[in-house]
C-alpha cells in the first residue's frame, strides 16, 4: 500500500477536527444549523491555513445524505466521494490554470442545470484572484443571483486583487496564521497517534519554521521523520532546518553584552565554517532578543526550557540595549540582500550593535514630549539661575572633601553647605565651558563634582547610570577637563547615590517646573476659560508646551 503524506492523511474532515480558525468554524456551524446559508463564500488567508479544507467540509455538510448540518456523517456515499475527490456535483476549479474568459463561460454554462447526485452543485474556485478581468465580469451576474441549487466557494491568498464588485457579493472569512503553540499541540497529537519516537523540544523548531502554516508544518514533519529514520530528534531537526542551537545564539548575545568584538567575529567565523545561513541566523537572533525583552518586562511570559539562559541575558543587558539591538537587527535583515555577501552583511550588523549605544536622556514628564537632552547641546543656551537648596537631606560622602581613593561614597550624612556652590560650578562647566556633546555630555550631566585633589578630578556618577561609562566616553570627558583647566589632570569616577542634584536631574526638574507654570498660565487665561465654558471643553493633558 502506497504511503500517504501526513498533510493529506490528517486533513480535517469535520469542523470539530479543525486546528484553530474557531471564528470561521463558529460562523459556518451556526449558519448550517440555523439554515441561514449564503450563496457565495470567500475564504482568504496565507498558504496552508485551511481555506480549501474548510470549503470541502462545507461541501460535505451541504450534500450529506442525512441532511444539511454542521456534523456530516462521513459514511454516506456523498461524504466518501467528496473525501476521495470524485463527487460529481463538487466542481473544483484551479483559477491559476483557467484564467481565460472562455473557461469561465464554459464553466457557467452548466450552472442552470440541477445537481446530478447531491443536494447542491458546489463550485470551489481556488486562487480565484488569478482570474482575468473579463472572467470576473462574466462571473458577476451568476455570482450575485445564482440558481437556488448552486453554492460558490472561493479561496484566495491575495484578496486585494479581487474586484470590489466580487467582494461585495460574497461572505468573507479571513483565516489567520496559526500560532506556534497551536501547531506544536497538533503535531504532538499526530506524532502520538502515528507512534513516532519523539524527543522533547523537537517539534518547536518545526512549528516556528512553518510560519503559521499547518500544511507546511506537516510537510516539514514528514521530512524530519524521514531524516531521522522514523524518529524525531532535536539535533536532527535543527540540522535539517539549518537552524542554530540556542547555545550558539546565546553566545552571540553574551559577546555583544560584553563588548567582545574579537570573540564575536570568532563566532561568526565558526558559523561560516559550518555553512550557516546568515539571514536565518539573523532572524533567530531577532527571536532571541524579543524573548529577552519580554522576560525583562513580563517575567512570567516565557515558560520554555531555556528560560534560565534567557533570564541570565536579560540581567546582563540594559533594556535600551536590547531595544537598540533588536532595531539594528531588524533593519539589517532588510538590508542583508544588498550586502556584497551574507557574511559581510551579518558582521556589519553585529559591529553596528557594538559601535552604538543609546543616549540616556533625563527623565522628562509625560506632558512634555521633547527630551531635555535634545535641547541642551545648543551653544547659546541661556544660563539658568541657581535653584534654591533642597530642604530634605541628601546622602553624601563623609564631609565635603573627596572620599578616599578606591572607596564608594557612604550614605547617611547630610550635604555640607559647600557642596551646593561646587555643583553650581559643575553645572556651568557641563552646560557651557566643557563643550561636550553626545555620550560624553550625558556622562558628565549625571555626575556630581566631588572636588579636585592635586591633579585628580573626582566625580560621583549616579549608580543607576553606570552603563554610560566606556573608555572612549571617559577619554573625551578627560580631554575636555584638561582644556578647561589648562593643565594635565586625571579623572576618577566613582559610583554611588548623588550628593545633590546632578545637572541632568536639575534640567529635568526645571523642565517640569516650566511645564507646570505654562499649564497654570493657560488655565488662568480668561480667553481660554471663556472658550472652555462656551464649548464645554477642557485642556487636553500633555498638550501644553512652554514657549520660552
Q: Which helix (H) or strand (E) holds 6?
A: helix 6-9
Q: Which phi-psi region, left, alpha or beta, contains residue 392 (left: φ > 0; alpha: ψ -120 to 50)?
A: beta
Find out whether 402 and 409 touch, Cβ atoms under 8 Å: no
Kindly give, in sequence order, each residue whose CB lies less than 8 Å from that of residue 243, ignoring residues fewer than 6 positions away: 205, 209, 280, 284
**Which pLDDT score is estimated for 366?**
33
Kindly give, in sequence order, each residue whose CB lies less than 8 Å from that of residue 219, ignoring residues fewer than 6 positions away: 5, 6, 7
Find out whether 387 and 509 touch, Cβ atoms under 8 Å: yes
What are residue 112's phi and psi, to 5 degrees? -70, -20
Place of cell 460574497: 170
**H-type alpha helices, 431-501:** 438-445, 471-485
Reported pTM: 0.59
3-state secondary structure at position 327: helix
Predicted confidence (pLDDT) per residue in 293-320, tens digit: 888 888 776 666 567 778 888 888 888 8
**Which pLDDT score is estimated for 361?**
38
Angle (CA) 473-396-412 rounded to 5° is: 135
Tens of pLDDT along the chain (548 residues) come to 478 899 999 999 999 999 889 999 999 999 999 989 999 999 999 999 999 999 999 999 999 999 899 999 888 999 999 988 889 999 998 888 877 888 888 888 888 889 988 899 999 999 999 988 888 888 888 888 899 999 999 999 999 999 999 999 999 999 999 998 899 999 999 999 999 999 888 898 899 889 899 999 999 999 999 999 989 998 889 888 877 777 888 888 888 888 888 888 988 998 888 778 888 889 889 988 998 888 888 877 666 656 777 888 888 888 888 999 999 999 999 999 999 899 999 999 999 998 887 654 333 333 333 333 333 333 333 333 444 433 333 343 333 333 333 333 333 334 444 555 677 888 888 887 787 888 888 888 889 888 888 888 888 888 888 888 888 888 888 888 888 888 888 888 888 888 888 888 888 888 888 888 888 888 888 888 888 888 778 887 777 777 76
**Which pLDDT score is estimated for 365?**
36
Kindly give, in sequence order, each residue whose CB lies less than 8 Å from that of residue 542, ignoring residues fewer than 6 positions away: 366, 367, 368, 369
Predicted confidence (pLDDT) per residue in 448-491, tens digit: 888 888 888 888 888 888 888 888 888 888 888 888 888 888 88
Cα–Cα dist 464/502, whole Å: 12
Extract the C-alpha cell encoding 361: 536622556
**Which pLDDT score is estimated for 125?**
92
Domains plus CATH for the chain? 6-174 (3.40.50.300), 180-241 (1.10.8.60), 246-355 (1.20.272.10), 362-386+416-548 (3.30.300)
Cα–Cα dist 368/99, whole Å: 58
Supply the DSSP string of 150-203, one letter for each residue: EEEEEEES-GGGS-HHHHTTSEEEEPPPPPHHHHHHHHHHHHHHHT-EE-TTSS
Extract the C-alpha cell encoding 93: 476549479
Instruction: Give the bridge partners for 496, in sequence order.
Output: 462
Find out whether 151 and 122 touch, Cβ atoms under 8 Å: yes
Extract the C-alpha cell encoding 349: 550588523
Cα–Cα dist 215/219, whole Å: 6
Amino acid at each position: 500500500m502506497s504511503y500517504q503524506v501526513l498533510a493529506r492523511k490528517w486533513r480535517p474532515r469535520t469542523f470539530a477536527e479543525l486546528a484553530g480558525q474557531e471564528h470561521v468554524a463558529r460562523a459556518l456551524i451556526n449558519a448550517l444549523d440555523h439554515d441561514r446559508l449564503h450563496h457565495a463564500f470567500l475564504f482568504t488567508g496565507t498558504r496552508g491555513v485551511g481555506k480549501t479544507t474548510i470549503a470541502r467540509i462545507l461541501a460535505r455538510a451541504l450534500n450529506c445524505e442525512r441532511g444539511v448540518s454542521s456534523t456530516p456523517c462521513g459514511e454516506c456515499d456523498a461524504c466518501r466521494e467528496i473525501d476521495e475527490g470524485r463527487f460529481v456535483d463538487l466542481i473544483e476549479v484551479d483559477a491559476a490554470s483557467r484564467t481565460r474568459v472562455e473557461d469561465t463561460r464554459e464553466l457557467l454554462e452548466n450552472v442552470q442545470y440541477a445537481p446530478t447526485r447531491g443536494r447542491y452543485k458546489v463550485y470551489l474556485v481556488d486562487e480565484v484572484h488569478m482570474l482575468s478581468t473579463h472572467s470576473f465580469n462574466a462571473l458577476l451576474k451568476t455570482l450575485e443571483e445564482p440558481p437556488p441549487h448552486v453554492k460558490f466557494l472561493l479561496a484566495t491568498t491575495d484578496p486585494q486583487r479581487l474586484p470590489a464588485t466580487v467582494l461585495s457579493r460574497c461572505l468573507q472569512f479571513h483565516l489567520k496564521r496559526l500560532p506556534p503553540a497551536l501547531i506544536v499541540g497538533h503535531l504532538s497529537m499526530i506524532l502520538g497517534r502515528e507512534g513516532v519516537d519523539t524527543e522533547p523540544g523537537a517539534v518547536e523548531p518545526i512549528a516556528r519554521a512553518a510560519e503559521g502554516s499547518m500544511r507546511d508544518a506537516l510537510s516539514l514533519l514528514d521530512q524530519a521523520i524521514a531524516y531521522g529514520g522514523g524518529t524525531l530528534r532535536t539535533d536532527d531537526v535543527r540540522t535539517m532546518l539549518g537552524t542554530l542551537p540556542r547555545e550558539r545564539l546565546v553566545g552571540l548575545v553574551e559577546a555583544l553584552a560584553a563588548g567582545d568584538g574579537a570573540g564575536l567575529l570568532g563566532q561568526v567565523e565558526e558559523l561560516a565554517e559550518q555553512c550557516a545561513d546568515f539571514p536565518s541566523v539573523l532572524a533567530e537572533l531577532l527571536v532571541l532578543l524579543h524573548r529577552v525583552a519580554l522576560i525583562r518586562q513580563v517575567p512570567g511570559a516565557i515558560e520554555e526550557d531555556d528560560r534560565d539562559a534567557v533570564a541570565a541575558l536579560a540581567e546582563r543587558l540594559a533594556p535600551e540595549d536590547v531595544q537598540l539591538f533588536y532595531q539594528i537587527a531588524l533593519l539589517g535583515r532588510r538590508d542583508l540582500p544588498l550586502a556584497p555577501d551574507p557574511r559581510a552583511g551579518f558582521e556589519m550588523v553585529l559591529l553596528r550593535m557594538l559601535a552604538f549605544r543609546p543616549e540616556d536622556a533625563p527623565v522628562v514628564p509625560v506632558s512634555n514630549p521633547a527630551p531635555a537632552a535634545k535641547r541642551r547641546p545648543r551653544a547659546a543656551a541661556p544660563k539658568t539661575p541657581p535653584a534654591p537648596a533642597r530642604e530634605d537631606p541628601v546622602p553624601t560622602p563623609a564631609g565635603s572633601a573627596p572620599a578616599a581613593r578606591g572607596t564608594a561614597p557612604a550614605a547617611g550624612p547630610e550635604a555640607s553647605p559647600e557642596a551646593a556652590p561646587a555643583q553650581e560650578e559643575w553645572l556651568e562647566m557641563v552646560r557651557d565651558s566643557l563643550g561636550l556633546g553626545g555620550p560624553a555630555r550625558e556622562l558628565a550631566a549625571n555626575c556630581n563634582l566631588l572636588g579636585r585633589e592635586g591633579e585628580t578630578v573626582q566625580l560621583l556618577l549616579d549608580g543607576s547610570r553606570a552603563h554610560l561609562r566606556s573608555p572612549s566616553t571617559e577619554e573625551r570627558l578627560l580631554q575636555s577637563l584638561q582644556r578647561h583647566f589648562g593643565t594635565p589632570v586625571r579623572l576618577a569616577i566613582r559610583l554611588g547615590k548623588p550628593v545633590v542634584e546632578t545637572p541632568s536631574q536639575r534640567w529635568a526638574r526645571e523642565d517640569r517646573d516650566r511645564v507646570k507654570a505654562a499649564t497654570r498660565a493657560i488655565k488662568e487665561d480668561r480667553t481660554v476659560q471663556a472658550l472652555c465654558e462656551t464649548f464645554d471643553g477642557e485642556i487636553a493633558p500633555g498638550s501644553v508646551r512652554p514657549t520660552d
